[in-house]
């Protein structure tokens, strides 16, 4: 610092430059002029942090793959029909067969209790479900007109005759069921087939849910079944009250299987609801927690020396499958899973005793919708507006407004007497995209389920509340 004389002027040191009073930034010797500099010690510390993070990521990925590979060694079997036509990454058809196998009583035979197709598109990031009633009539070459659930049992009993030596009963049952479903849905005309099969028995279903720690189901209506079958061939009473509730594997299995309170069609709806709840449960976990689930699932469904409770031809350890599952797990909203069912009201049907003969054209139209990425166009939803605000003409004017915004409307009507402070959109059918846009447009609450006290043929019901009257 130069000396400052009494006159207030700085004196320039010998050999120096006059100081002007400006603040000068000191820079390290040998540092490039005009560029910031990071001390070597700091750069070294930053490099260690990045290396540590990369190491952790690699270890987590490696641990995850190792766990998946171990699971695959136990549950993945070859398909006697040959390689699949498509990959889950590009869009594949996966058949889930729920089977009733009494492994301690082989003389009781085996039955397929559930047939559900999953359209799985990893690149597109979407999933659709299609349930086929077990009493659907099909032509089996060896048996003639038969229920579709007989296909698995026939393949299981005739493995060698159908597919040759070395094919297990489970592989043959899965293959024959897949070919039967492909023929019933005329997949060959679309240049496709059932690509993969997943076989799940009752123990595997319950074990999967228990490995997740349970699932949450929003029961839409009260269910009472006075004759639910027990493992010892007896019956018991089961009931479910409406509303959200936590279920373990045993309870969820009862919910998915009960049918005496309504019908097989109600049961297929519940089965799809359980699948949606399983996806929701997985989505709520981070990736590390999902990896930790894999060994728990493996231990729950596999026992040394026994056929695993879940068996599949889907190569779960292949890179394309892992990429497809990862993309779906990261992006899929479980509420937007497409849920389709072959049932009266959607498909025309005739009966042959207890067999169901479905109209082929209606089935083809439903399959086309199932193969279409979810969205409003594929939902084809019908909306009905009910006036709960007591303002004359409000439901009609709202219906006209919605029609102008591209919705398909049924005739408006008055809501049952009661208090309706807020407008509510009820999503009754499988129409989540339409219901969401409708609720946003009206500024309404969205409820999945049927409105109390109202019977409607619509997929979505709107009950206008007092807020709608005030907003006019």
Phi and psi at 356, nearest 5°, equal: -110, 125
Residue 39's pLDDT band (cuts 50, 70, 90): low
* Residue 447, strand partner residues: 426
Both 289 and 350 in one domain: the answer is yes
The reply to whether 35 falls in a domain is: no
pLDDT at residue 60 greater than cutoff 70: no
Indicate whether 358 and 423 sit together in one domain.
no
**pLDDT, position 429:** 85
Residue 307's pLDDT band (boundaries 50, 70, 90)?
confident
Same structural domain, 226 and 314: yes
Looking at the domain assignment, is residue 45 inside a domain?
no
Given 319, 348, 374, which residue is the final one in a domain?
374
> If you average pLDDT over residues 226-236, what whole number do you get?
87
Residue 394 has pLDDT above 50, yes or no: yes
In eight-state DSSP terms, residue 137 is: E
In which band, very low, low, confident or very high, does the pLDDT at 446 lie, cut at 50, 70 and 90?
very high
Q: What share of the chain is helix, strand, coil (3-state, %, to 5)?
A: 40, 20, 40
Q: Are residues 261 and 226 in the same domain?
A: yes
Band (pLDDT 50/70/90 cuts) for residue 37 is low
pLDDT at 63 over 80: no
Average pLDDT over residues 65-88: 90
Q: What is the pLDDT of residue 198?
A: 97
- Is the separation of the CB atoms in 157 and 169 below 8 Å? yes
Query: Are both 167 and 253 inside the same structural domain?
Result: yes
Mean pLDDT value across residues 446-461: 92
Mean pLDDT to the nearest integer, 215-240: 90
CATH of the domain at 208: 3.40.630.190
Higher pLDDT, 223 or 23: 223
Domain contains 464: yes
Q: Give residue 122's pLDDT band: very low, low, confident or very high (50, 70, 90).
A: very high
Please give the tally of structural domains in the chain.
2
Does the pLDDT value for residue 26 go beyond 70? no
- Output 143 or 61, whichever has higher pLDDT: 143
Q: State the number of CA atoms in the 13 A half-sphere of 336 facing the CB.
A: 16
Say yes or no to pLDDT of 31 above 80: no
In this structure, the answer to whether residues 334 and 432 fall within a common structural domain is: no
Contact in structure between 456 and 399 (CB atoms under 8 Å): no
Q: Which of 20-34, 38-52, 309-323 has the highest mean pLDDT?
A: 309-323
d(CA 149, CA 153) in angstroms, rounded, equals: 7
Question: Does residue 242 sit in the same domain as residue 254?
Answer: yes
Q: How confident is the model at residue 272 (pLDDT cuts 50, 70, 90)?
A: very high
161-177 pLDDT, tens per residue?
999 999 999 999 999 99
Last residue within a domain, chosen from 351, 374, 397 = 374
Q: Are residues 245 and 335 in the same domain?
A: yes
370 and 424 fall within a common domain: no
Pair (271, 354) in one structural domain: yes
195 and 262 both lie in a single domain: yes
How far is residue 154's CA from residue 377's CA, in Å, rounded to a whole number? 40
- Retrieve residue 449's tokens: 């389920």
325, part of any domain: yes
Whole-number pLDDT of residue 77? 95
What ranges in 30-107 are assigned the alpha helix state H?
40-75
Own/partner long-range contacts of 136-145 (Cβ < 8 Å, ≥24 apart): 136/184, 136/342, 136/355, 136/356, 136/358, 137/352, 137/355, 137/356, 137/357, 138/180, 138/183, 138/184, 139/183, 140/180, 145/352, 145/355
Per-residue tokens: 132? 């086929």
From 323, 356, 374, the end of a domain falls on: 374
* pLDDT score at 230: 85
For the cut 80, the answer to whether the pLDDT of residue 343 exceeds it is yes
Is pLDDT at 3 greater than 80 in this prediction?
no
Q: Which two tokens stand for residue 317?
A: 């350890």
43 falls within a domain: no
- The string of DSSP codes covering 367-413 is HHHHTSPSSHHHH--EEEEEE-S--TTHHHHHHHHHHHTT-EEPPPE
Q: What pLDDT sits at residue 12?
A: 45
**pLDDT at residue number 13:** 46
In 212-359, where does DSSP find H-type helix?
249-257, 264-283, 287-301, 319-331
Q: What is the C-alpha to C-alpha distance for residues 465 and 391, in angstroms, rounded to an integer?
A: 10
**Domain range for residue 324?**
70-374
Q: Is residue 50 part of a domain?
A: no
Same domain for 346 and 385? no
User: Residues 12-17: what's their mean pLDDT?
Assistant: 47
């Amino acid at each position: 610092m130069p000396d400052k004389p009494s006159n207030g002027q700085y004196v320039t040191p010998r050999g120096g430059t006059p100081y002007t009073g400006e603040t000068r930034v000191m820079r390290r010797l040998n540092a490039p002029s005009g560029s910031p500099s990071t001390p070597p010690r700091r750069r070294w510390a930053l490099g260690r942090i990045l290396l540590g993070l990369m190491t952790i990521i690699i270890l987590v990925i490696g641990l995850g793959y190792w766990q998946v590979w171990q699971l695959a060694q136990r549950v993945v079997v070859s398909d006697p029909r040959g390689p699949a036509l498509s990959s889950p990454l590009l869009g594949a058809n996966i058949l889930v067969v729920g089977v009733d196998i009494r492994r301690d009583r082989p003389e009781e035979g085996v039955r397929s209790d559930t047939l559900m197709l999953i359209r799985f598109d990893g690149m597109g990031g979407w999933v659709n479900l299609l349930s086929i009633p077990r009493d659907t009539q099909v032509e089996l070459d060896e048996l003639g007109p038969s229920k579709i659930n007989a296909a698995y049992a026939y393949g299981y009993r005739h493995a060698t005759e159908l597919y040759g030596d070395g094919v297990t009963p489970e592989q043959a049952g899965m293959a024959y069921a897949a070919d039967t479903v492909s023929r019933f849905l005329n997949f060959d005309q679309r240049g496709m087939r059932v690509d993969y099969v997943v076989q799940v028995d009752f123990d595997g279903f319950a074990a999967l849910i228990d490995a997740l720690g349970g699932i949450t189901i929003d029961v839409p209506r009260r269910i009472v079944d006075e004759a639910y079958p027990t493992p010892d061939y007896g019956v018991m009473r089961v009931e479910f009250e409406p509303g959200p509730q936590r279920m373990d594997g045993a309870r969820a299995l009862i919910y998915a299987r009960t049918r005496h309170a309504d019908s097989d069609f109600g049961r297929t709806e519940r089965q799809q609801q359980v699948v949606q709840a399983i996806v929701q449960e997985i989505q709520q976990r981070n990736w590390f927690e999902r990896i930790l689930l894999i060994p728990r699932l493996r231990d729950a469904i596999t026992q040394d020396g026994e056929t695993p409770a879940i068996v599949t031809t889907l190569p779960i350890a292949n890179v394309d499958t892992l990429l497809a599952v990862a993309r779906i797990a990261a992006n899929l909203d479980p509420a937007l899973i497409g849920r389709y069912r072959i049932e009266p009201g959607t498909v025309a049907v005739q009966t042959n005793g207890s067999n169901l003969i479905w109209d082929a054209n209606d089935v083809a139209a439903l399959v086309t919708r199932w193969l279409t990425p979810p969205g409003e166009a594929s939902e084809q939803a019908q909306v009905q507006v009910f006036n709960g605000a007591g303002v004359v003409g409000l439901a009609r004017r709202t219906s006209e407004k919605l029609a102008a915004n591209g919705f398909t409307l049924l005739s408006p009507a008055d809501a049952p007497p009661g208090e309706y402070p807020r407008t509510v959109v009820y999503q009754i059918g499988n129409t989540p995209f339409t219901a969401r846009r409708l609720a946003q447009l009206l500024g309404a609450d969205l409820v999945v389920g049927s409105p109390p006290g109202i019977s409607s043929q619509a997929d979505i019901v709107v009950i206008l509340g007092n807020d709608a009257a005030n907003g006019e």
